[in-house]
Amino acid sequence: MTTPGGSRSTWSGAAFTVQVRPDGRLGLTDRGTHSDVPPQLHRIASAMRHTDLRECRFHWRAPRSARLCRVSLTARAELGFDHVELSGDPVEQLPGGLSTRELEVLTMLVVGLSNAEVAGELGITQRTAATHVTHLMQKLGTPTRTAAATRALDTGLLCVPLPGSAEHYAGLSVGRLLAAASSDAAAPSGEPRREVPRPRRPEPRRELVVGAALPLTGTGSDDGREMINGLQLAIEEINAAGGVRGRRVRAAVRDVEVTSSTSVRTAFESLARGGVDILTSGYLAAQEIGHETAATTGVPYLHAATSGAMEQMVRDDLGRFGRVFQVCASDTEYASRFVSFMTSVREQGHWGIASDRLVIVVRPWHGVDFGIDRARTVADRQGWSLDVVPVGRAGDGDGWARAMGAAVREPAAAVMIGSFFVDDAVRAVTALHERGAPALPYSIYAPSVPAFRHRLGRLAEGVVWATTTGTYSDRPGRAFARRYTDRFGAAPGRSHAGLAYDRMQRIARAWSACGDLSDADAIATHLRAEPYRGVNGTYNFDTPGQVALGVDEHGDPSLAQPQLIYQVQDGRQVIINGGPFRTGEFRLPAHLQRR
């Protein structure tokens, strides 16, 4: 029995490479003959004209012999002739020695099925399903299910016919292609064969658009410039290297007032209407608006909110927010690390600290708590008393001065300045100096922005500050700083410039690894599965809330980002705590030496 294209109903087992014409007929062959092409694969290749796919790879199992064939489909346009190139190669042994059953289970992991769901679809016990998962991970050398799934997507280790219900695979390229083939084959046989329109010549590949909601004016605009510069530098380098799979990358930036939920909503709605391929942002008061936009549009979203509340939001509903990633560890360790740092300074004996009192002065910020409750426990255990002083509403210019006055009314060894914004940190440090208080100023994040030192001048000397994501002073970090300085005429800050650069490079890596750039789930799977080492450390999103893994000083910094503690010394940023990335030691500020 033969098909209209000339292929037999069974597969000969021979390799083949053949053109499938726009009218569905088989054309020229590079390997094998028309009779070597199984009709099922002929039909799948013909259906590719009904999709927007440019390529697809999978492993096909012949229905009678159960032989495996490694299949590659590529849409081509050569000399004005449009066709699909269909290639098949016999498979003697799957990678890692996978069995056919393990290949089926691996295919089901790609779409996120649990062991129980795998067992139900295949008619096996849950224990057997778990054993298959363990064995396939060992054979592929992948440490997690998501890493195995990513390997499957990257290499076409997907089993066709698809195991289990077809609905599971509706979001995958191969699932859409098989659905198109099934629909094509289901046309009533009594109808006259309609003329299949010739596909249009492929248009030039459109550019990939990164949507970015960043503060270019208003609150946080000093930091916003760092973010846009880091993003721009990464895009320029990516495009100079040929783009992503031959497509240029472009940024669509929307200015956002980070303290206004109305402004945040307007920015994200504008980006969504513009049809961006991925969403990004810095830190926002109404951060959940970005999460909801990503969930509604299906577009992957990478933000830098440093928020334990947003981490919990994703963890509690991965089905809805599974494409949302936080590119830095959450804020929940800031306060306890402040206490532990002061304990280490006291124990080193370089400073005869007269007070056992620590103070945290904090302005409430949506979704941020800095881990103060845990810090109280740590302080009590390490022999400190810990007070918390709130600052009034945003926009109150004297609020920080009053709060710092209250903080040092009684002697204090150090005061933690709990705000991400340069304006707040400048006011707080200034107020501390004006009162002549013998307390160490310990800030979070804000001194990473160059404007902090520019505005404070000599008063910035000796300030200690911490960040969950900071640019290292190692070789990659220094090389990035040189390129940034050459491009923009000023040195980068020590956090968000590098973070924005790394985020864009990580996005490009995920795009490059996915056959279908519109497959948001495949992109999310790759982001989860593969750690990436950038200038701000290692981004490892394989965590319950899809937040970049952070570690303390005893953890493995090669797999995560340790919280870094810097000190301004002689006008330079010196890393005084951060495992192997430390570049100097704590230095007692001059105003405390005089005391």
> Tens digit of pLDDT for each residue in 219-236?
999 999 999 999 999 999
Describe the crossing of helices 496-513 and 475-488 by its angle, rounded to 10 degrees: 100
CA dihedral 559, 560, 563, 569 (to 10 degrees): 60
Q: What percent of the chain has pLDDT over 70?
A: 92
- Cα 10 from Cα 239, distance rounded (Å): 46
Q: Which of 229-233, 334-338, 549-553 is the least confident region?
A: 549-553
Residues 340 and 425 placed together within one structural domain of the fold: yes
Residue 93 lies in a domain: no
Residue 124 lies in a domain: no
pLDDT score, position 205:
54
The pLDDT of residue 127 is above 70: yes
Residues 541 and 578 placed together within one structural domain of the fold: no
| pLDDT per position as a tens digit, 372-383 | 999 999 999 999
The pLDDT of residue 390 is above 90: yes
Residues 544 and 587 placed together within one structural domain of the fold: no
Chain centre distance of CA 509:
10
How many domains in the chain?
2
According to DSSP H, which parts of 349-474 are helical? 372-382, 399-407, 422-434, 450-456
Residue 62 lies in a domain: no
Residues 350 and 434 placed together within one structural domain of the fold: yes
Residue 19 lies in a domain: no
pLDDT score, position 190:
39
Per DSSP, which regions of 519-592 are E strands? Answer: 532-534, 537-539, 550-551, 561-562, 564-569, 572-577
Residues 313 and 228 placed together within one structural domain of the fold: yes
pLDDT score, position 4:
39
Report the candidate in 359, 305, 307, 363 with the shortest Cα–Cα distance to residue 335.
359
Residue 322 lies in a domain: yes
Residues 326 and 338 placed together within one structural domain of the fold: no
The enclosing domain of 575 has a CATH number of 3.40.50.2300
Q: CB of 70 within 8 A of CB of 63?
A: no
Residues 320 and 336 placed together within one structural domain of the fold: no
Task: Choose from 28-37, 80-89, 311-320 the range with maximum mean pLDDT.
Answer: 311-320
Radius of gyration of the chain from Cα atoms?
29
Mind giving me the DSSP string for 217-244?
SSTTHHHHHHHHHHHHHHHHHHHHTTTB
Residue 358 lies in a domain: yes
Residues 454 and 580 placed together within one structural domain of the fold: yes
Residues 458 and 571 placed together within one structural domain of the fold: yes
Count CA atoms within 13 Å of residue 592 on its CB side: 22
Residue 545 lies in a domain: yes
Q: CB of 27 within 8 A of CB of 83?
A: yes
Calculate the average pLDDT of the chain.
Answer: 88
Q: Which of 336-350, 437-451, 494-508, 546-560 is the least confident region?
A: 546-560
Residue 513 lies in a domain: yes
Q: What is the mean pLDDT of residues 157-169?
A: 93
| pLDDT per position as a tens digit, 25-62 | 888 888 888 889 999 999 999 999 888 888 999 999 98
| pLDDT per position as a tens digit, 495-526 | 999 999 999 999 999 999 887 788 888 999 99
Which H or E element spans position 27? strand 26-31
Host domain of residue 438? 332-467+563-594
Residues 258 and 389 placed together within one structural domain of the fold: no
| pLDDT per position as a tens digit, 275-309 | 899 999 999 988 999 999 999 999 999 999 988 88
Please give the order of strands across the beta sheet that includes 249-255: 249-255, 208-214, 278-281, 301-303, 324-326
Residues 460 and 498 placed together within one structural domain of the fold: no
The pLDDT of residue 178 is above 90: yes
Query: pLDDT band at residue 594, thresholds of 50, 70 and 90?
Result: low
Residues 544 and 584 placed together within one structural domain of the fold: no
Q: CB of 460 within 8 A of CB of 425?
A: no
pLDDT score, position 24:
86
pLDDT score, position 556:
81
Query: pLDDT band at residue 352, thresholds of 50, 70 and 90?
Result: confident
